[in-house]
Structure formats: structure tokens, C-alpha cells
């Protein structure tokens, strides 16, 4: 069985992009070798209200369980409950170079957004080291992620290989598993930008927990183009391609074949909204059930933290020993 790890940041409300690009695949492929975390330490790299962070961490964990991760077999945990992440992160910080960190597009994008006058934390610069620790602690062979995470996987592989060549075989070098359809869901109002939790685009961002009416309104108002021809062409018709992709994932079809069934944009939007509402209904129902059962959620997270620590502590110990740190 393949050891799998992938995580989610509690940086905002979970989007349809997070679900289609990542969470759905975690649920479909889950096993006793799957580890999925809510990485709350990453959310501290930008300023955030403590109460809001706590609430988002809990609701993100709830979403993972509502989506169908089974905490009896799959390990579902909160990153800060597993101190090994922060500990290994220092070793990773000392294994990655300033130059490599400077080339990360997420640092450039997020620091540009904050601007020269704002507070750019050192954590926003060094977070790839923490992310490498998140992955390498679990000896993960595969990391199922959306397309935006390619650069993070590359730097993690580079860090693992460098550490292994300096200190001997310590880490499994992981590879990314990126879905064929739905790996990059775009903003409905700006289909050349990725749909994102922290983007300031309320009409362009479909939230996983949007009610049916809101969802329908957002899909129907999605930006398309004016040539009126229905075909799957992400380069020249990104808005339409995005809708066809959403419809394809919701119905288990293929975007190019689905395009052949339509001659007008209106019916495509109507069908996409209807399919999406049905597709998300079970997640909404389960989320409401779990909200009413906080004991179940806290027990699941406590079990997840114990299971995660049992694996992570062994890897951390191996890495510390190989790097030359003295045993107590
Ligand atoms: N638009 C997307 N399409 C497909 N997959 C996506 N993912 C994110 N956006 C899309 C995938 O969701 C997983 C969790 O992402 P994350 O929480 O680690 O952070 P992210 O990739 O930076 O996601 P966001 O929503 O854009 O968050 P913010 O706004 O905080 O930066 C990952 O597997 C990701 O690929």
C-alpha cells in the first residue's frame, strides 16, 4: 500500500478548487497508509486573528471528515498537535538555501500582496522548509495535490535528496500525484487566476459549503466569452473550459466530450450548477451532522494526533541522529 500525505491550510473557507483538486482524491484513495493534516502553523505566516484561526482550523478538520475521510483508518490530524513538524522544520531550514527560497513564487506573490509598508514575516519566506518537514516526517511516497503545488514538491524532493546525500539515507523522496481533470479550478470571475481561499473574489470563488442558491448564482454569472461556440479550449476559452471541467468532475465525465453535447452557454451553466449541487449535497449533510457532534470531531483529532506522532517521532529521531545531534 502506498504511503500518502497531503494537507490543507486553514487560511479561509474551503473552496471548490481545494475539494476537486485535492480533498476528493484523498477521500477516494484513502487507506490506513493515508495521512491528512490541517496545517495551522502555516496559517501563522500572515497575520491572523487567533479566534479566527482556531475556528478555521476546526471547520477545516470538519470539512475533511464531512467529505468522507474515515478517522478509524485514515489519519486526520492538526499540525500543531504534532510538535515533530516544528522540530524537523529547523533541520529542513538548514538544508534549503536562501536562493531556493527566494525563487518560490508563493513568497513573491504573497509578499507583493502585503506590500513594502506591510509586515512580511520570516515565516512567509521559510515556510517551504516547514512544508518539507510536513511531508518527509511520514515517509510519504505520494503527495496528492492540485497543480499549484508542483514547485513545493520539487523543493521538498531537492531538500530530501540533499539531506540524504549529506547524512546518509534518511528520507523517502516523495512524488506529486496530480489529477488529470480538476487539478486547477479557476476563479469564475477571472478564469486566468486560480480559485483560492484567500483571494478577494467572493463571486468568483465557489465555497464548498455555499448553499444551493448561492452556488447556482455564482455559476450562472461565471465569466465566459463572446464567440458563443462551446468547445473545450483552456488556452483561448478559459472560462468555458473551467465550467466544463467542473461539470466533468461532478458527473465523472470528460470535459472535451461534454462540450460536444452543448451548443449554447446557458444550458451548460444550468446543468453545471445542478450537477454541482447534487455532487456536494452529501458533504453538506454530513457537515451539519458533525457540527452537532463536537465530541466525535475532537476524539477523531486526538486519535489522529497520536497516530501521526507515532510515525513522525521515529522519522525525526532518525533525522536528528543522522545529522549529528546528541541523544539524551
Ligand atoms: N483552484 C484549485 N484547483 C485545484 N486544486 C487546488 N488547490 C488549491 N486551490 C486549487 C489544492 O488544494 C490543496 C490545499 O491547498 P492549501 O490549503 O495547502 O493551499 P493552496 O494550494 O495555496 O490553496 P488556496 O486555496 O489557494 O489557499 P491560499 O489562498 O491560502 O493560498 C492543495 O493540494 C492545492 O493544490
> How much is the pTM?
0.96
Per-residue pLDDT at 328 exceeds 90: no
- Report, as an integer, the average pLDDT of 27-31: 97
Please report which confidence band the pLDDT of residue 293 belongs to, taking 50, 70 and 90 as the band edges. Answer: very high
DSSP 202-241: TTT--BTT--HHHHHHHHHT----SS------TTT-HHHH
Report the share of the chain in percent with pLDDT over 70. Answer: 100
Grid coordinates belonging to 51: 479566534
Give the residues across from 177 on adjacent strands: 144
Per-residue b/e over 136-173, b at no fewer than 16 CB within 10 Å? bbbbbbbbbbbebbeebbebbbbbbebbeeebeebbbe
Per-residue pLDDT at 193 exceeds 80: yes
Per-residue b/e over 37-53, b at no fewer than 16 CB within 10 Å? bbbbbbbebbebeeeee
Residue bearing cell 466569452: 225
- Report, as an integer, the average pLDDT of 238-244: 97
- Report, as an integer, the average pLDDT of 128-140: 98
Closest by CA position to 178, among listed 7, 68, 14, 25: 25
Return phi, psi of residue 78, to 5°: -105, 130
Please report which confidence band the pLDDT of residue 198 belongs to, taking 50, 70 and 90 as the band edges. Answer: confident
Residues framing ligand 1 (Cβ under 6 A) = 6, 8-9, 11-12, 15, 17-18, 20-22, 145-146, 148-149, 183-185, 194-198
Q: How far is the CA of 21 from the centre of ligand 1 (A)?
A: 8
Please report which confidence band the pLDDT of residue 27 belongs to, taking 50, 70 and 90 as the band edges. Answer: very high
Per-residue pLDDT at 175 exceeds 90: yes
In testing the pocket of ligand 1, which one of 9, 18, 128 has its CB within 8 Å of the most ligand atoms?
Answer: 18
Residue bearing cell 446557458: 266
Decide if 299 is catalytic.
no
- Report, as an integer, the average pLDDT of 113-130: 94
Determine contact, residues 145/109, Cβ cutoff 8 Å: no
Atom of ligand 1 nearest to the CA of 110: 31
Nearest CA to ligand 1 atom 24: 196
Report the share of the chain in percent with pLDDT over 90. Answer: 97
Q: What is the distance between the alpha carbons of residues 216 and 262, in angstroms, rounded to a whole number?
A: 19
Which pLDDT score, from 0 to 100, does residue 3 have?
A: 98
From the list 110, 218, 237, 269, the catalytic residue is 110
Q: What is the distance between the alpha carbons of residues 80 and 100, in angstroms, rounded to a whole number?
A: 26
Determine contact, residues 223/188, Cβ cutoff 8 Å: yes
Give the residues across from 15 on adjacent strands: 207
Decide if 110 is catalytic.
yes
Which pLDDT score, from 0 to 100, does residue 234 have?
A: 95
In testing the pocket of ligand 1, which one of 25, 112, 148, 189 has its CB within 8 Å of the most ligand atoms?
Answer: 148
Q: Tell me: the pLDDT tens digits for 47-79?
A: 999 999 999 999 999 999 999 999 999 999 999
Q: What is the distance between the alpha carbons of residues 258 and 266, in angstroms, rounded to a whole number?
A: 14
Q: How far is the CA of 72 from the centre of ligand 1 (A)?
A: 26
Determine contact, residues 80/54, Cβ cutoff 8 Å: no
Decide if 197 is catalytic.
yes
Nearest CA to ligand 1 atom 5: 21
Mean pLDDT of the chain: 96
Which pLDDT score, from 0 to 100, does residue 327 have?
A: 83
Atom of ligand 1 nearest to the CA of 145: 33
Which pLDDT score, from 0 to 100, does residue 177 have?
A: 97
Which pLDDT score, from 0 to 100, does residue 117 have?
A: 87
Q: What is the distance between the alpha carbons of residues 230 and 225, in angstroms, rounded to a whole number?
A: 10
Nearest CA to ligand 1 atom 15: 8
Nearest CA to ligand 1 atom 26: 196
Q: What is the distance between the alpha carbons of residues 301 and 298, in angstroms, rounded to a whole number?
A: 5
Q: How far is the CA of 258 from the centre of ligand 1 (A)?
A: 26
Determine contact, residues 156/7, Cβ cutoff 8 Å: no
Which pLDDT score, from 0 to 100, does residue 116 have?
A: 85
From the list 113, 175, 180, 197, the catalytic residue is 197
Amino acid at each position: 500500500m502506498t504511503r500518502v500525505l497531503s494537507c490543507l491550510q486553514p487560511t479561509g473557507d474551503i473552496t471548490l478548487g481545494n475539494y476537486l483538486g485535492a480533498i476528493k482524491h484523498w477521500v477516494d484513495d484513502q487507506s490506513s497508509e493515508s495521512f491528512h493534516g490541517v496545517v495551522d502553523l502555516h496559517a501563522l505566516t500572515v497575520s491572523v486573528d487567533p479566534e479566527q484561526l482556531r475556528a478555521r482550523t476546526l471547520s477545516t478538520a470538519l470539512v475533511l471528515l464531512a467529505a468522507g475521510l474515515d478517522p478509524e483508518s485514515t489519519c486526520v490530524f492538526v499540525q500543531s498537535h504534532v510538535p515533530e513538524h516544528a522540530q524537523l522544520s529547523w533541520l529542513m531550514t538548514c538544508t534549503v538555501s536562501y536562493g531556493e527560497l527566494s525563487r518560490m513564487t508563493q513568497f513573491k506573490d504573497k509578499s507583493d500582496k502585503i506590500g513594502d509598508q506591510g509586515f512580511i514575516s520570516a515565516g512567509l519566506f521559510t515556510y517551504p522548509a516547514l512544508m518539507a518537514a510536513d511531508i518527509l516526517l511520514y515517509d510519504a511516497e505520494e503527495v496528492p495535490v492540485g497543480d499549484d503545488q508542483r514547485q513545493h514538491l520539487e523543493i521538498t524532493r531537492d531538500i530530501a535528496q540533499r539531506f540524504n546525500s549529506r547524512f546518509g539515507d534518511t528520507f523517502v523522496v516523495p512524488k506529486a500525484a496530480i489529477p488529470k481533470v480538476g487539478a486547477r479550478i479557476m476563479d469564475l470571475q477571472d478564469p486566468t487566476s486560480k480559485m483560492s481561499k484567500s483571494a478577494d473574489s467572493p463571486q468568483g470563488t465557489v465555497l464548498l459549503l455555499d448553499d444551493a442558491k448561492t452556488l447556482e448564482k455564482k455559476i450562472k454569472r461565471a465569466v465566459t466569452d463572446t464567440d458563443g461556440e462551446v468547445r473545450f479550449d483552456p488556452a483561448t476559452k478559459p472560462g468555458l473550459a473551467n465550467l466544463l471541467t467542473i461539470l466533468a468532475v461532478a458527473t465523472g465525465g470528460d470535459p472535451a466530450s461534454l462540450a460536444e453535447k452543448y451548443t449554447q452557454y446557458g444550458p451548460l451553466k444550468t446543468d453545471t450548477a445542478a450537477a454541482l449541487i447534487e455532487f456536494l449535497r452529501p458533504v453538506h449533510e454530513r457537515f451539519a451532522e458533525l457540527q452537532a457532534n463536537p465530541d466525535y470531531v475532537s476524539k477523531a483529532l486526538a486519535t489522529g494526533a497520536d497516530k501521526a506522532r507515532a510515525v513522525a517521532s521515529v522519522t525525526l529521531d532518525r533525522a536528528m541522529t543522522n545529522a549529528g545531534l546528541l541523544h539524551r
